[in-house]
């Protein structure tokens, strides 16, 4: 078998992250045709397709899903070696905000990739409700943050989009309830305003039965049968069911997980942390 070129792997990673060959090529400053040629060469070497067509973009094939973590690790290690051997040692401090709802596994992956490249950089990581992160960036209290928004702004990079829906416990039927018990996020979160607006649009009586700062808190109350709740589809599992048309709820917006930095300054640690975050949320 012909050896895999790291340049092919970088093109593969960029296309996988972007969801299209055109956007992936833009990320690595190549033309669409050059990126396509590299993907075809990679597939020829492997003997399998790494992508499948999906609408106007692409999604990973089974072989692509198996290759992606390996490609990310290989390119990260090569970058770390180049950083260690060919550049000055970088130190300092980087302040990062990460929403606690996205779990230890994501954060572990991000930190593992970053510290291999910049072991001397001191990391100050805040895991909390992300509603306050944009303000912390503006005030210079954070250098980089991941948080959720309803609408994407120009300085924010989209990492993940999660459609929202009203859900209830599979064990409880609220369809005949005169007043709907509702579990909401606390006052600091835009999800609460969205949920209340959705309830008021259908003009059905409701009462707030439960409030929480976290997705896991709202999901627990819903699964326990205390109330219905507005959650992202990524939070659904066998204990929860999506409410049907009989409840009269209309469209609810998607939640957008975004990344933003505190200013225009681009340091090597910040750019490396951004790359690690992108890899974690592909």
- CATH number of domain containing 134: 3.40.190.10
Half-sphere exposure of 130 (CA within 13 A, CB side): 23
Enclosing domain of residue 109: 89-157+257-280
Q: What is the rounded distance in angstroms from the CA atom of residue 194 to the CA atom of residue 230?
A: 9
Please check whether residue 53 lies inside any domain of the structure: yes
pLDDT at 160: 87
- Measured over the CA atoms of residue 224, residue 230, residue 236 and residue 241, the dihedral's sign is positive
Over the chain (282 residues), the average pLDDT of each successive run of 10 is: 82 92 87 92 94 89 94 86 64 88 79 85 88 91 92 88 92 90 83 88 89 88 94 89 84 90 82 88 72
pLDDT at 280: 84
The dihedrals phi and psi of 125, each to the nearest 5 degrees, come to -110, 125
Looking at the structure of the chain, the number of domains it has is 3
Burial class (CB in 10 A: 0-12, 13-18, 19+), 246: exposed
Does 79 share its domain with 112? no
Does 81 share its domain with 98? no
Domain boundary among 85, 100, 120: 85
Domain boundary among 68, 85, 102: 85
pLDDT at 188: 65
């Amino acid at each position: 078998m012909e050896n895999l070129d790291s340049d092919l792997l970088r093109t593969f990673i960029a296309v996988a992250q972007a969801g299209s060959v055109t956007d992936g090529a833009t990320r690595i400053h190549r033309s669409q045709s050059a990126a396509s040629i590299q993907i075809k060469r990679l597939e020829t070497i492997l003997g399998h397709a790494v992508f499948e067509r999906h609408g106007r973009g692409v999604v990973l094939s089974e072989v692509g899903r198996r290759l992606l973590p390996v490609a990310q690790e290989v390119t990260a290690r090569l970058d770390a070696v180049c950083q260690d051997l060919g550049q000055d040692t970088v130190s300092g401090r980087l302040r990062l905000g990460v929403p606690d709802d996205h779990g230890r596994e994501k954060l572990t992956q991000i930190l593992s990739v970053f510290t291999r490249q910049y072991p001397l950089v001191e990391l100050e990581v805040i895991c909390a409700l992300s509603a306050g992160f944009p303000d912390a960036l503006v005030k210079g209290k954070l250098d980089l943050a991941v948080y959720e928004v309803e609408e994407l702004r120009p300085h924010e990079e989209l990492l993940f989009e999660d459609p929202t829906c009203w859900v209830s416990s599979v064990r409880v039927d609220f369809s005949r309830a005169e007043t709907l018990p509702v579990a909401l996020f606390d006052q600091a979160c835009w999800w609460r305003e969205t949920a209340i607006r959705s309830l008021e649009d259908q003009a059905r009586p409701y009462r707030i039965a439960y409030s929480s700062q976290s997705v896991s808190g709202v999901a627990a109350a819903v699964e326990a049968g205390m109330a219905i709740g507005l959650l992202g589809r990524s939070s659904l599992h066998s204990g929860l069911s999506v409410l049907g048309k009989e409840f009269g709820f209309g469209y609810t917006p998607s939640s957008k997980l975004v990344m933003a930095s505190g200013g225009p300054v681009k340091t090597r640690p910040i750019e490396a942390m951004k790359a690690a975050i992108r890899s974690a949320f592909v």
